[in-house]
């Protein structure tokens, strides 16, 4: 099929918004857009959109109103909390706190750490789980950044050695990803949790990339907390989740001070103010909550559960195999991996192409084939630099290449997909990679505001 032809969208397990959107090609004509950047933000499920649209006319204030719509919205919000708890397999005493995103969730946890808590985190983490601890209440205990392991067993052994050296009198927290946002590789979460608990530490799971693809069960994995984002779980309405043990959350000052977090507020005789804070999840949900965001996450949780993760995982593995086998046929392509080619992964793969600036390649995929991927360092700079074999001090901004088209830059290309991806999208991607490598781009490109874009003032490439 010509890249200029209008493609039909094959069936996907869960329909998403935008599945019929067409985009113009710089070479002429239009094509159905292939959204292959799920790792950044997944499109909204049609089911989620429909549920939100049905509720929207009934929107009202939560926890504060006596009117019917306020009561209905309060019930919807708290029922959404229960749905998320069921989705995550929460324990009876766990709390589910609604936040803005995974980043917000982990910053919340960092803000409630007990005094002197030492944090252990691998350098391979996304910045959302790598950076919040720097200014946390860890105080004089500090942070231990662990070197990138090259096998799951090495990850467990590295953590074991680090924990064995810590001061056991202090509290400790391990932060680990469930699936890499760069390579898609699954981490040995259950084994890392066992190692943490054996040394008296707690563990938080960054499930931003894992939850949309695999079942996440807090009790089965034996983790203390789980954090994830709605916008990666097919619910891009500005909400996230931190779920897990209540004690650290209950014992700390509220993440934000304000209405909703406070149970009672009273003036003192000396002119000051006394506050009694809630001990429930409301303690860290000050302000008017994002009811629609929470409901959207609950709707997505129901949709994924009803579709069946076993079915979704099996189908996604078929797509992964098609992409990997297709890329393996192009010698100039190198797929990035931390644990090796045989490591299990979700639908996230990053790669570089010999002779190509990654931004140039991604721009050509978009402009000439209607395929949306991501290029850059994916907010995981230390990991990508490790995988590319570059010096940690090499410059390079997240998503903003510093080289002209055709020149080397410290960036990679990432393709990611999920339950809303039709077969045709991954087939078109594989074909486009092969054609670009073998035949080159059909259009000229230039750097504009740090991005590689088609040069619309000139003629097609010779």
314 Cβ contact partners less than 8 Å away, ≥ 6 residues apart = none
The sign of the dihedral angle between the CA atoms of 83, 88, 93, 94 is negative
The rounded distance, in Å, linking the Cα atoms of 122 and 147 is 6
Q: How many CB atoms lie within 10 A of CB 49?
A: 20
Q: Is the CB of residue 87 less than 8 Å from the CB of residue 230?
A: no
Q: Is the CB of residue 179 less than 8 Å from the CB of residue 214?
A: yes
Nearest to 100 by CA among 198, 231, 223: 231
103 Cβ contact partners less than 8 Å away, ≥ 6 residues apart = 128, 132, 229, 240
Task: Check residue 340 and give left, alpha or beta (phi > 0: left; psi -120 to 50: alpha).
Answer: left
The β-bridge relationship of strands 202-206 and 225-229 is parallel
Nearest to 129 by CA among 110, 153, 114: 110
Provide the terminal-to-terminal Cα distance of the chain, rounded to the nearest Å. 22
Q: How many CB atoms lie within 10 A of CB 323?
A: 22
Assess whether 398 carries a catalytic annotation: no
Nearest to 77 by CA among 304, 219, 280: 280
162 Cβ contact partners less than 8 Å away, ≥ 6 residues apart = 120, 144, 146
Q: Is the CB of residue 14 less than 8 Å from the CB of residue 419?
A: yes
The rounded distance, in Å, linking the Cα atoms of 33 and 367 is 11
Alpha helix segments (H runs only) across 202-246? 218-221
* DSSP-based three-state secondary structure for 362: helix
Q: Is the CB of residue 35 less than 8 Å from the CB of residue 372?
A: yes
Q: How many CB atoms lie within 10 A of CB 311?
A: 11
Q: How many CB atoms lie within 10 A of CB 317?
A: 14
- DSSP string computed for 137-158: TTTTS-EEEEPPPSSHHHHHHH
The rounded distance, in Å, linking the Cα atoms of 313 and 215 is 9
The rounded distance, in Å, linking the Cα atoms of 260 and 51 is 26
Active-site entry in 90, 175, 379, 452: 379
For the annotated catalytic residues, the residue numbers are 379
């Amino acid at each position: 099929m010509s890249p200029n032809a209008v493609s039909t969208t094959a069936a996907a397990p869960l329909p998403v918004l935008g599945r019929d959107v067409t985009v113009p090609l710089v070479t002429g004509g239009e094509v159905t857009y292939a959204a292959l950047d799920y790792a950044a933000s997944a499109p909204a499920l049609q089911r989620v959109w429909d549920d939100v649209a049905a509720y929207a006319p009934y929107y009202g204030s939560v926890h504060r109103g006596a009117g019917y719509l306020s009561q209905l919205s309060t019930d919807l919000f708290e029922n959404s909390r229960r749905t998320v708890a069921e989705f995550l397999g929460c324990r009876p005493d766990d709390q589910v706190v609604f936040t803005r995103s995974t980043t917000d969730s982990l910053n919340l946890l960092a803000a409630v750490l007990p005094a002197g808590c030492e944090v252990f985190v691998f350098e391979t983490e996304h910045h959302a789980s790598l950076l919040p601890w720097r200014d946390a209440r860890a105080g004089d205990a500090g942070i231990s950044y662990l070197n990138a392991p090259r096998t799951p067993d090495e990850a467990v052994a590295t953590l074991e050695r680090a924990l064995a050296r810590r001061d056991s009198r202090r509290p400790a927290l391990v932060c680990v990803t469930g699936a890499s946002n760069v390579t898609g590789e699954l981490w040995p979460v259950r084994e890392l949790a066992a190692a943490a608990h054996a040394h008296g530490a707690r563990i938080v799971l960054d499930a931003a990339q894992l939850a949309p693809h695999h079942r996440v069960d807090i009790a089965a994995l034996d983790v203390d907390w789980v954090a994830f984002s709605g916008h990666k779980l097919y619910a891009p309405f500005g909400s996230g989740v931190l779920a897990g043990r209540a004690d650290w959350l209950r014992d700390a000052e509220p993440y934000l001070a304000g209405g909703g977090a406070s149970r009672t507020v009273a003036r003192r005789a000396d002119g000051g103010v006394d506050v009694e804070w809630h001990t429930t999840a409301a303690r860290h949900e000050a302000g008017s909550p994002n009811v629609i965001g929470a409901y959207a996450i609950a709707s997505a949780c129901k949709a994924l559960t009803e579709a069946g993760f076993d079915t979704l995982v099996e189908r996604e593995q078929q797509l992964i195999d098609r992409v990997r086998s297709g890329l393996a046929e192009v010698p100039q392509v190198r797929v990035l991996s931390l644990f090796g080619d045989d490591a299990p992964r979700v639908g996230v793969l990053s790669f570089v192409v010999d002779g190509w600036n990654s931004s140039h390649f991604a721009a050509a995929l978009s402009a000439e084939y209607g395929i949306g991927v991501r290029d850059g360092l994916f907010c995981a700079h230390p990991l990508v630099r490790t995988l590319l074999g570059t010096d940690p001090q090499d410059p390079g901004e997240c998503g903003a290449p510093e080289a002209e088209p055709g020149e080397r830059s410290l960036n990679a290309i990432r393709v990611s997909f999920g339950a809303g991806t039709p077969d045709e999208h991954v087939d078109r991607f594989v074909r486009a990679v092969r054609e670009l490598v073998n035949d080159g781009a059909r259009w000229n490109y230039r750097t504009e505001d740090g991005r590689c874009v088609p040069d619309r003032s000139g003629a097609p490439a010779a």
